[in-house]
Structure 1
Amino acid sequence: MPRALTFLIALFPCLLGLGELQAAPFSIAFHYGSTLPADGLRAHDIVVVEPDHGHQPGALGPDTDLFAYVSVGEVHPQRAYLAEVPAALKRKINTDWGSVVIDVSQPVWAEFMAERIVGPLWQRGYRGFFLDTLDAYRLLDDVDPAAAQRGLEALIQTLAKRYPGIRLIFNRGFELLPAVHSQVFAVAAESVHRGWSAGQSRYVAVPEADRRWLLARFDEVRQRYGLPVIGIDYLPASALDEARTLARRMLAEEIIPWIAEPSLTTLGTGANEALPRRVLVVYDANEASAINYTNAHRYIEMPLNYLGYVADYVTPDDALPERLDPRIHAGIVTWMTGGIKRGERLHHWLQTQIDAGTKVAIFDDFGFELGHSAAARLGLRLALPPTAPLTLSQSDPLIGFEMPPRPRAGTLLPITAPGGIPLATLTDTNGQTYHPAAIMPWGGYLLDAFAVVELPGVEGQSRWGADPFAFLQRALRLPARPVPDPTTASGRRLLMVHIDGDGFPSLGEFPGSPLAAQVLLDDVLKRYRIPHAMSVIEAEVSPQGLYPALATRLEGIARQMFALAHVEIASHTYSHPFKWRKVFDARDDDRAADYHLDIPGYTPSPEREILGSIDYIRSRLAPAGKPVRLLLWSGNAAPDADTLKLITDHNLLDMNGGNTTMSRRRPTVAAVSPIGVHQGPYFQPYAPVMNENVYTSDWTGPFYGFRDVIDTFKMTGEPRRLKPINIYYHTYSASKVAALKALHTVYDWALAQPTQPVFPSDYIAMAHNFNTLSLARALDDPDTLHIRNADALHNLRLPPDFAAIDLANSPGLAGTTSGPDGRFATLASSRASLRTGATAADIPSFVSANGRLTHWQGHPKGIDFALKAHTPLSFTLSHPSDCRLQTGRGPVVASGRSGLKHHYHLDGTNATFTLRCPG
């Protein structure tokens, strides 16, 4: 085995699995900007950053290491420690950069760097360092080069001794390697093929002689010292195709590439490239008081989520990005309702993006005046206004998704699409044709009735006139690829329960008039021992609240609930704000009466509602040592960004909001909310399914109405699995006989399904991870998809037409199982590689389980794995019948089988297993 490969196997065991090695031993990026483009950088194993910008190790997730940039031979005036550098070391000014050149030959410099520069970074968690300006001593005529080299060698040895496990990347420094190569992680050099001329302010080709010299040095580094080499070349950000070609060339030369602009503050091109997981959504902010209620968020984000994409929102009045990076954004979606003041600005910007090759999907209205010239540029043609009646004379199968469109002549935009593929053709009484929906070379559009239609005379009822999933895929040219999916884990649909505390003091309509909270504890929580989140409203249960005479009993019940092992503790706030954005508005004169429980003398504040209520629960109700981190939003569950910031700043979790009520009464995906809502940099996960208040007509009856949520579970489970099973209700459901019976019906149905029960906090982590999980491909290996940063979400949904998976060469992938809309692939860790191709049918693999797969390691004779569940274990493996499963307590016999699928059950909730197969 070559020495370099031996070195890399020892150095990167976590990168290797059952499959083949990547062509590059690792992928690296360099980004010195103050803001990290996380979606693009998570594709890489290492990102070198400027630590003075405050970036913290771990900022990009568990699978991307941050290395700190450190200048060795020069100190820039902006460095805080420059004033502490001994005067004798400061020898001259590098006029090109304004930095101070250091005499590295003096021993005091090694000590200074170790203590004052590297030490604080080590304390912050950095374990890798990119050492730049190693050759700056050549600028000093009065310093002996040999002495300078000895000083640098002493520095490297000091760092290695002082900080065990430190990883150092040299920028050049070839002359130091004979003495310190064993302390070096990798060697980099700039301008292998393409460089930047600062004097000429232009990109240049590296002279042949310089290139050959550098390639010879790289060969020596690889062959003599067994170290990987990194090439940093420069091209403009717009030259993406050229950068990809250059990166592939460098990979063929066994050089790990990074090609970027010389400032290293934009996303460049490396050995891996992120697949875009975001779509820019342009919406009309005048539609509603908050983004939660806009058409774009209500109707478009859920289909985008289902297809695997995260929505980024802007309005036409915002600072619109000049250029979208295709490695981050897959396209643009607009939902305009007409009458946009900045329509001309929007039109110009969209046309610029289209000219740059970005695909655009337009819903409802173009959002700008479509004149003849503008229409022609888009491949459209304006026609005369139509004369009623209109007839749908041609339509694509995606038209009429939930109801036949009924366009009105008075609102129809009179256009045809000679430059595209019409999805629908309308003909008026004069025989004139119109195309209200089409796929165009630049994307596509669905106008007016062919998007979402509000049913006349039925408040809150909408239907899609076209299939939004299929339209988005076709308009934005979205490829069929694996989708991070927070509805499922370990091959089974998630099951979770969370309870809002409303009605805790209510009296139950049962003999003896027990408190509803007591009924809930005795008849529900003690019966169904699956994960729950239980919350209380402080003002309802505390001695200083609204019911002081009941407080002793209420707090006692809450303590019993919170002591249950299958119950995690949540707050439902202090005073239950009904309208979060209004309750804290000092301009409102009647806040208490209208927007939260009326507590005399109380002036509302987010801090008191959130932090105060959690502190109350921690101090008076929670068992010692049991965490209280979860807030279940009350009322309209629509806080603003400043309120969500409290959650992030105090390391809390939150959930609620959304309006998923799809059922036989509302048979539409328009009634399915997205995973959550973004408010600036903050993300609020929605409750996957709405609570019983909706199903009982705002608790006016019928009180058995919550049993209809079973229809919601079924309809959001297939033909597309859009949501987990989420039993969500209030304490007051335990106050009425009919409501309590409905609860039992819902629980019994859910427990009869093949699910994985999880705590709501587990789901919340998955919802957040949906936004941050990275998919990437190696530039020279298009058949392999690399999954990174899957720290909570270990499930991918593979579309029905996705290629077969080569399990034997997909490290980190445990197996797949069939679902209603494709296959679900279970990851064994936060990083995995998914390779397409044929694989042996009888290879042992994981199928599904009611618990989380916490370990999976394949070897020639079988598999070692571990499962952890909240209920007695039930799982399925695929393997030949002569394989044998055992735990530390002895053999485990299958309870049933179907072909290669073997079904197992254990009394325990977690165990470590070994599957051994002959051969």
Structure 2
Amino acid sequence: MNAFLRSCVFCWALLCSWCIQAAEPAVAVYYGSKASLSELGLYDIAVVEPDHGYDPVRFRQQSPGSELYAYASVAEVLPDRAYFRKIPAEWKLARNGAWRSIVIDQTPAQWPAFFADEVIAPLWDKGFRGFFLDTLDSYRLAANFDEAAQQEGLVRVIDTLHQRFPGIRLILNRGFEIVPRVRDKIQMVAAESLYRGWDANLKRYVDIPAKDREWLLQQLQAIRERDKLPVLAIDYVAPHDRDATRDTARRIAQLGIIPWVSDADLQTLGIGSVETVARRVLVLYNGADDPALNYSSAHRFLEMPINYMGYIVDYADVRSPLPADVVRDRYAGVVSWFGGAIPDARFKDVRAWLTRQMQQGMPVLMMDAPGIPLDRTLMTTLGVRSMEAAPAFPLKKAEQSPLMGFEAEPADPAHDYSGWLLTPQMLQQSRQLLSFDDAKGQRFVSAAITPWGGFAMSPYVVADIPGTEQSRWVVDPFKLLKQALRLPDFPVPDVTTENGRRLLMAHVDGDGFPSRAEAPGAPFAGEMLRREILERYRIPHTISVIEAEVSPQGLYPRWADQLEGIARRIFAMPNVEIASHSYSHPYLWDRTVSHGLFAESKEVDLNLNIPGYQMDLRREIEGSVDYIRRRLAPEGKPVKVFLWTGDTAPSAEALAISDAAGLLNMNGGDTSITRSNPSLTEVKSWGIRKGGHLQIYAPVTNENIYTNLWHGPFYGFERVIETFEMTDAPRRLKAVDIYYHSYSASKQASLKALHKAYGWAMSHRLHPVYASEYIRKVADFYEFAIGREGDAWRLRGPGQLRTLRLPPGMGVPVVDAGSGIAGYVKGVDGYYLHLVNGAARVKMREEAAAAAALPYLVDANARLGEWQPQPDGGLRLTLEGHVPLELRMYLPPGCSLSSASNANPISAVPASDRSAIRSFRSAHNRAQLQAQCRAL
């Protein structure tokens, strides 16, 4: 039998002997610094470089059942380690030139205590309880060594760690010879390079020879069978080759070995038994096209569809060097959207960068204009013959895909039309979305899905409506993104819904609090707001004031006592959370951008006219919050939220000040889709990130937009109902947000419009929340992680966002006792999945499969607290909201729902059918419930 056949037989024997083993933990080995705690929480064990600042205590709280392990090198040390200087020269046994490290002699009697004190103890104090011990075999790099003595020293190190740190958990990287002596003190054994490895001398990835693999498999089999320990194989593949990474992990897993396949430096989130979904899309833009990122086309138009599909946008301004670490572990694709040519000094670098991304298999979507002249290399990569050739008119439409004409039909080509002439091979391999034939028979392509991604060129992306400020999508952005970037379906973190019901919130900017109302006695608008709205609609409200409008040192000192009294009464209400709307209501928050955009305008310095005051970010944010805390807020009631004023486009500096003050921030976005402007270009993203800080946009805009900047009609805000309806179907794009200013309570027409908006909300099955709750959910969207584990999905988030939407075609979620899933409900755009907390593992079943066997939550207007499945198939649950409780439960035959406490009883809503979905109500906003099931 030849070596290859012996190897195959041996591998099959391993597969047969290991396939009956219990499921092993999912492990990641990641020495980078960019993965979030949620991403690492997808794994049962995540080994990290401890110097990168990961907090194991916070991780343990956020991801119960998962654990961070700290990397610790036993027999090698890098000179930049803090303890390197303390190592005696006589302990330095050799040098590892490939990694520029020093090999440490394991035989000195003091070495185990030194390693425990200097390496492990500081990490233990930080909260690490698990450790990945590396370089156990490095003594073999020395010219002379006593192998038995070195191994004895390693055993003493492990014994010392167990004596010093009770409960410590250890993973050994190799050290096969000592495993039988320490197997009761270690959790797992790892080995590198089973199928693919890294040659540190040649600096390249290599295939492992069959004889080396066979030897390593024998060692791993012995550990599994003799020592009853799980084993982990760490292989190395080029980071851009995701297919090879996936295939190598699959081959390792088929042997029953825990797989982890990553790049040679372990700087990327590789693939193991769990594969993290890459949720980022990098968008290239030219900062010279617009005065600020907020106004760029990519942000205004494209980020919302990207967010809706579950992805996060990272922006890169082509005027600066482009990021070098755009890899498939984190990025699903790259989009460029340039309004015109990028700076001449940058186009060569941008061109080379784009070529490299495409050649490495990163999907690229080019929007609107290429922005760069093409060289031969990029033209070959794109499959373009020419971009300069002028078509011979007249042009005749050749192909139009259903993706085109989404909101507006493609216009006939203008005299300056320019499309792409593709090579015959690229034409054959691509799917034309829109193309034209000229009088000479040449095919010009304006939009296509290509092997490298796709493109859609102006004017067939977004069209302006002549004579208006409106725009329309020509191409379907959802389908274009999905098809060009090859975006897979996965459970999408959803910020619009919780427990199956669309979120409802109400928040008020403080403008006009001192205005006199059109009512007997001319009360202040703030008082009318309290009487007419807050007392009547007992849903959660987030209410703000502008300090300079109500304080004794502000603009109206003679009314300050009355105004502050009204504010105190409002802030004391149980359905109100407190917010600040600044000190002087600045119109522009980013003065760097502002002076470029409004260089000749007084709006640069526009705010309330306070004598002697000049705009100061800290005074506006921290100062106004401090004033409210000292003078207006009831004792013990915090000021949670800061609501941006004016153009609602804060700078990164302003966002940093807000974050440092512990405030949640919101406003901006201006979603205002209506029947007279029925375009998704009017629906904005969840927020925008600047300098590592996140601004949360209000779900919909305020009455100022519907009333022509408060010039009338003053009843215009009733049209917000159109926005509520059009952002719920055919896709649920936004929560319901009744957002307005205090001055809306000053006019009878605007007050009636408010009553209509509230009446609409009260008549629908919604889930009321405070703005702070919504803000935290959106923040979680950017942190949430999804991983694929065979036929299941692992879901991890910080815990505030608890809804995932399953795109149509993914099937129906399976609810079982250990899934972390409380239930689901079908919506217009897929099933909405309810998480018990921030972690879950879910499988799908076919739509036509048998009904669920266990009770589950269909929907509720309250948040889940306790959710405890019982051994008999029943469960105990707690719901707590802000209004009288409403819920629906799926109750299989033999199951019933009742109150677990007499204090907060529930009553069943009479049903006209015998459906297994039953409705319940309570006069209270909290209930402890139990579902009991009897055997039939």
User: Does TM, normalized by the shorter one, top 0.5?
Assistant: yes
User: How has the CA–CA distance of structure 1 residues 650 and 80 changed in structure 2, closer, same or farther, with 3 Å as cutoff?
Assistant: farther
Work out whether residues 386 and 409 of structure 1, in 8 Å CA contact, stay in contact via their aligned partners in 2.
no
SS at match of 2:646: coil
| Matching residue of 1:767 | 778
Counterpart of 1:248 in structure 2: which amino acid? R
Kindly provide the CA deviation profile for residues 427-473 of structure 1, in whole angstroms up to 9, marking residues without a partner as x: 77999875433333333333323221111111x21112232222222
Q: In terms of mean alpha carbon deviation, does 809-818 or 674-683 score higher?
A: 809-818
Counterpart of 1:846 in structure 2: which amino acid? L
User: How has the CA–CA distance of structure 1 residues 116 and 431 changed in structure 2, closer, same or farther, with 3 Å as cutoff?
Assistant: closer
Counterpart of 1:273 in structure 2: which amino acid? E
Q: In terms of mean alpha carbon deviation, does 37-46 or 821-830 score higher?
A: 37-46
Work out whether residues 545 and 579 of structure 2, in 8 Å CA contact, stay in contact via their aligned partners in 1.
yes
- Residue 907 (1) aligns with residue 907 (2): no
User: How has the CA–CA distance of structure 1 residues 613 and 111 changed in structure 2, closer, same or farther, with 3 Å as cutoff?
Assistant: farther
| Matching residue of 1:617 | 628
Aligned-partner Cα distance in 1 for 2:326–2:698:
32
Kindly provide the CA deviation profile for residues 752-781 of structure 1, in whole angstroms up to 9, marking residues without a partner as x: 111111111111111112122112213xx1
| Matching residue of 2:884 | 872
- Residue 862 (1) aligns with residue 874 (2): yes
User: How has the CA–CA distance of structure 1 residues 913 and 679 changed in structure 2, closer, same or farther, with 3 Å as cutoff?
Assistant: same
- Superposition TM-score, scaled by structure 2 size: 0.88
Q: In terms of mean alpha carbon deviation, does 207-216 or 531-540 score higher?
A: 207-216
Aligned-partner Cα distance in 1 for 2:513–2:192:
66
Aligned-partner Cα distance in 2 for 1:402–1:828:
39
SS at match of 1:246: helix
5 Å-filtered alignment, 1:687-836, equals 687-778=698-789, 781=790, 783-789=791-797, 791-808=799-816, 811-836=819-844
Aligned-partner Cα distance in 2 for 1:631–1:315:
28
Aligned-partner Cα distance in 2 for 1:582–1:431:
53
Aligned-partner Cα distance in 1 for 2:376–2:289:
28
Aligned-partner Cα distance in 2 for 1:910–1:25:
40
- CA shift at 1:687, angstroms? 0.7
Work out whether residues 656 and 693 of structure 2, in 8 Å CA contact, stay in contact via their aligned partners in 1.
yes
| Matching residue of 2:224 | 222
Aligned-partner Cα distance in 1 for 2:378–2:140:
60
Aligned-partner Cα distance in 2 for 1:230–1:327:
20
Counterpart of 1:400 in structure 2: which amino acid? G
SS at match of 1:825: strand
User: How has the CA–CA distance of structure 1 residues 531 and 447 changed in structure 2, closer, same or farther, with 3 Å as cutoff?
Assistant: same
- CA shift at 1:136, angstroms? 5.3
1:457 aligns with one of 437, 442, 467: 467
- CA shift at 1:21, angstroms? 12
Give the number of equivalent residue pairs: 895
| Matching residue of 1:527 | 536
- Residue 663 (1) aligns with residue 665 (2): no
- Residue 445 (1) aligns with residue 455 (2): yes
- CA shift at 1:674, angstroms? 0.6
User: How has the CA–CA distance of structure 1 residues 370 and 230 changed in structure 2, closer, same or farther, with 3 Å as cutoff?
Assistant: closer
Work out whether residues 192 and 211 of structure 1, in 8 Å CA contact, stay in contact via their aligned partners in 2.
yes
Work out whether residues 484 and 793 of structure 1, in 8 Å CA contact, stay in contact via their aligned partners in 2.
yes
Counterpart of 1:546 in structure 2: which amino acid? L
- CA shift at 1:213, angstroms? 4.8
| Matching residue of 1:16 | none
5 Å-filtered alignment, 1:125-164, equals 125-135=127-137, 153=155, 155-157=157-159, 159-160=161-162, 162-164=164-166
Q: In terms of mean alpha carbon deviation, does 697-706 or 50-59 score higher?
A: 50-59
Kindly provide the CA deviation profile for residues 378-407 of structure 1, in whole angstroms up to 9, marking residues without a partner as x: 445669745777675753333222222324
- CA shift at 1:791, angstroms? 2.1
| Matching residue of 2:908 | 894
Work out whether residues 408 and 474 of structure 2, in 8 Å CA contact, stay in contact via their aligned partners in 1.
yes
| Matching residue of 2:30 | 31
1:538 aligns with one of 547, 553, 561: 547
SS at match of 2:405: coil
Work out whether residues 89 and 109 of structure 1, in 8 Å CA contact, stay in contact via their aligned partners in 2.
no
- CA shift at 1:55, angstroms? 3.3
2:290 aligns with one of 288, 291, 294: 288
SS at match of 1:543: coil
| Matching residue of 2:273 | 271
2:357 aligns with one of 341, 353, 356: 353
- CA shift at 1:661, angstroms? 0.6
5 Å-filtered alignment, 1:138-537, equals 153=155, 155-157=157-159, 159-160=161-162, 162-174=164-176, 176-178=178-180, 180-206=182-208, 211-321=213-323, 324-342=326-344, 343=347, 345-369=349-373, 378-379=382-383, 385=390, 395-415=400-420, 418-419=427-428, 420-426=430-436, 434-458=444-468, 460-537=469-546
Work out whether residues 590 and 649 of structure 2, in 8 Å CA contact, stay in contact via their aligned partners in 1.
yes
Work out whether residues 775 and 788 of structure 1, in 8 Å CA contact, stay in contact via their aligned partners in 2.
yes
Q: In terms of mean alpha carbon deviation, does 571-580 or 354-363 score higher?
A: 354-363
- CA shift at 1:224, angstroms? 4.5
Aligned-partner Cα distance in 1 for 2:56–2:398:
60
Work out whether residues 401 and 434 of structure 2, in 8 Å CA contact, stay in contact via their aligned partners in 1.
yes
User: How has the CA–CA distance of structure 1 residues 675 and 515 changed in structure 2, closer, same or farther, with 3 Å as cutoff?
Assistant: same
SS at match of 1:915: strand
Aligned-partner Cα distance in 1 for 2:737–2:373:
44
2:82 aligns with one of 80, 83, 92: 80
RMSD over aligned CA atoms reads 3.4
- Residue 678 (1) aligns with residue 689 (2): yes
User: How has the CA–CA distance of structure 1 residues 239 and 455 changed in structure 2, closer, same or farther, with 3 Å as cutoff?
Assistant: closer
- Residue 54 (1) aligns with residue 58 (2): no
User: How has the CA–CA distance of structure 1 residues 493 and 37 changed in structure 2, closer, same or farther, with 3 Å as cutoff?
Assistant: closer
- Residue 599 (1) aligns with residue 610 (2): yes
1:560 aligns with one of 565, 569, 573: 569
Work out whether residues 572 and 632 of structure 1, in 8 Å CA contact, stay in contact via their aligned partners in 2.
yes
Counterpart of 2:52 in structure 1: which amino acid? H
Work out whether residues 906 and 927 of structure 2, in 8 Å CA contact, stay in contact via their aligned partners in 1.
no
| Matching residue of 2:932 | 916
Q: In terms of mean alpha carbon deviation, does 20-29 or 127-136 score higher?
A: 20-29
- CA shift at 1:715, angstroms? 0.6
Kindly provide the CA deviation profile for residues 777-807 of structure 1, in whole angstroms up to 9, marking residues without a partner as x: 13xx1x2222222622211222223334343
Work out whether residues 239 and 328 of structure 2, in 8 Å CA contact, stay in contact via their aligned partners in 1.
no
Work out whether residues 40 and 273 of structure 1, in 8 Å CA contact, stay in contact via their aligned partners in 2.
no
Counterpart of 1:120 in structure 2: which amino acid? P
- Residue 852 (1) aligns with residue 856 (2): no
Counterpart of 1:192 in structure 2: which amino acid? L
Counterpart of 1:235 in structure 2: which amino acid? V
SS at match of 1:776: strand
Kindly provide the CA deviation profile for residues 189-227 of structure 1, in whole angstroms up to 9, marking residues without a partner as x: 233344444345444555666544543443344345443
User: How has the CA–CA distance of structure 1 residues 241 and 544 changed in structure 2, closer, same or farther, with 3 Å as cutoff?
Assistant: same
| Matching residue of 1:4 | none
Work out whether residues 688 and 723 of structure 1, in 8 Å CA contact, stay in contact via their aligned partners in 2.
yes
SS at match of 1:706: helix
User: How has the CA–CA distance of structure 1 residues 165 and 654 changed in structure 2, closer, same or farther, with 3 Å as cutoff?
Assistant: farther
- CA shift at 1:542, angstroms? 2.1
| Matching residue of 1:10 | none
Work out whether residues 588 and 603 of structure 2, in 8 Å CA contact, stay in contact via their aligned partners in 1.
no
Aligned-partner Cα distance in 2 for 1:77–1:385:
62
Counterpart of 2:317 in structure 1: which amino acid? T
SS at match of 2:819: coil
Counterpart of 2:928 in structure 1: which amino acid? T
Aligned-partner Cα distance in 2 for 1:910–1:519:
30
- CA shift at 1:100, angstroms? 5.2
- Superposition TM-score, scaled by structure 1 size: 0.89
Gaps of 5+ in 2: 1-18
SS at match of 1:327: coil
SS at match of 2:658: helix
User: How has the CA–CA distance of structure 1 residues 350 and 179 changed in structure 2, closer, same or farther, with 3 Å as cutoff?
Assistant: closer
Gaps of 5+ in 1: 1-19
Q: In terms of mean alpha carbon deviation, does 413-422 or 864-873 score higher?
A: 413-422
Percent identity of the aligned residues? 44
